Chain A
Amino acid sequence: MIVGEQKPLEEILSLLGNARRVLVAGCGTCVTVCFAGGEKEAAILASALRMKSQLEGRPMEVDEVTVQRQCEWEYIDPLAERLKDYNVVLSLACGIGVQAMNERFPDVITLPGLNTTFLGLPEEHGVWVERCQACGDCILGVTFGICPIARCSKQLLNGPCGGSQNGVCEVNPDIPCAWQLIWERAIKFGQVERLLEVQPPKNWSRSRDGGPRKIVREDLRLPESE
């Protein structure tokens, strides 16, 4: 899932500037699951904004709404009528949701209330960790199911750097060294020799380095309407 965290209130207020009527828009999918931008967080933030703006002597009218998925037209289209009443939407969706809103409703500005942080999972209650960088050419099949692109601080493809010690990464003892984990999995499956082949340079053109990416599936496209 996409994991995000709310921006500090101060930053949100400064982004909102002199907006009078604000709609806080939560999203019911990833950011709900990571407790950053769902219905509950939208309500809490909306009331915080009302209070804070009141205290600062420039009261804002703040309402809230939550849609199932801000990243799909069919879920946001029903908002069209309602948006006419607002100067600004403060989206608590990921960056994709924020852009979807701006794209679909070009006459109203949608601002981000979250920092979209990574693609990951909840490791335990209250702890989320990164697992994928969407590199466009998945190599989990040769790294025993552990991603060195997302989980090795230097994205190494041929084994650990010289800073790996006691299972943790040189960058921070809170980061497990991805290559220690890969090595352990290789031993577990008795396939250490698979790590001894020199992996060639990665084709980063399939990653973001190739420019913004797009997938077109002709088999799924609907026929052009006449």
Chain B
Amino acid sequence: MSNQTNGYKSGSNLEKLLRAGHFVVTAEIGPPQSADPEVIRRKARLLKGVVDAANITDNQTAIVRMSSIASAVLALQEGVEPIVQMTCRDRNRLAMQSDLLGAYALGARNLLCLTGDHQSFGNHPTAKNVHDLDSIQFIRMVRDMRDEGRFQCGDEIKGVRPAFFIGAAENPFADPFDFRPYRLAKKIAAGVDFIQTQIILDIPRFREFMKRVVDMGLHEKVYILAGIGPLKSAGAARYMRDKVPGMRVREEYVERMEAAVAGIPKEDKKARKEAWEREGIRIAIEQIQEIREIPGVAGVHIMAIEWEEAVRPIVEGAGLLPRPVVE
């Protein structure tokens, strides 16, 4: 049985907006390390009307948090369309498919298929990881469930198929750099519909990546949302530069964040924080304006981690409010 999606793959708001040619905005909601639903509700309220959909992270950085599917339902109840993130780290193909059926039944329509950060980064470094599938095999499985009505084993799905708008991540800054566009091509071949990139703090490198993507014609086969990560402090910029694997940070951002607090005494924590946040938001706005002009970019994905308050001023400052509506 096929689903009622009026020619759309999933019928999600995100899909409709992208199909209509709008420049889309997504953001991120990180679930709490507790069972408190209010955390999701509060974050969702901050994003409502500001973004077209919000990623709900899945045990991000391998730290146990409220399930992304349960959190997605809470976001939905607050009127924010979720993009359910799911990693290959914690589930085998049985658990993945079963959770996909459940997530769809509960109203989720967008899915982001991820490999997952290694558990050694998180709070259960002695855990066993799964990686039964990799992210590309995962994408193919979800596509086959939607388009072929088949489980990974080949059995038919008798009844409602989980018809997700399928997303994946791509890191244009990781190595081997020359492999990255090909890896994107593999994801497209596997059936991905949209891509969210890693946080961009090296626009020239991103530009080079996008040029290759456009030369290969990949931008016509997938929607690419550029990752924006507002910096909260000079320390955060340095941390991303030095400590986050696969991340490239241009010196200018570190310098701008350092300069933002020049003249403010170290003891005046409040003034420094405000100055940093203002500069972080300003940089994010400038980046969006610059990245928008790069051929092949269909939208932005704002990763304001534990700083959801920053999303509205960024989107507003970039001239992207109000958000468009499609029927």
Contacts and interface: CB of A to CB of B under 8 A. Distances in A.
Contact of B140 (A154, A165, A166, A198): A198
B152 interface: yes
A86 interface: no
B134 A157 contact: yes
Contacts of A200: 137, 140
A200 B132 CA distance: 11
B89 interface: yes
Interface residues of A, number: 31
Interface in A159-188: 159-167, 170-172, 177, 179-180, 183-184
A204 B132 contact: yes
B174 A163 contact: yes
B246 A165 contact: yes
B106 to A, nearest CB: 26
A201 interface: yes
Contacts of A163: 117-118, 171, 174, 245-246
Most chain B CB inside 10 Å of its own CB: which residue of A159, A161, A163, A170: A161
Nearest to B197: A162
Contacts of B141: 201
B175 A164 contact: yes
Given A160-B174, A196-B182, A200-B137, A154 B152 contact: no
Contacts, number: 101
Given A165-B245, A183-B179, A154 B134 contact: yes
A204 B89 CA distance: 16
A148 B182 CA distance: 18
Nearest to A172: B120
Nearest to A171: B118
Given A153-B118, A154-B115, A159 B179 contact: yes
Interface of A: 153-167, 170-172, 177, 179-180, 183-184, 192, 195-196, 198-201, 204
18 contacts: A154-B89, A154-B134, A156-B115, A156-B134, A157-B134, A158-B186, A159-B179, A159-B182, A159-B183, A160-B174, A164-B245, A170-B117, A180-B175, A198-B140, A198-B186, A200-B137, A201-B132, A201-B137
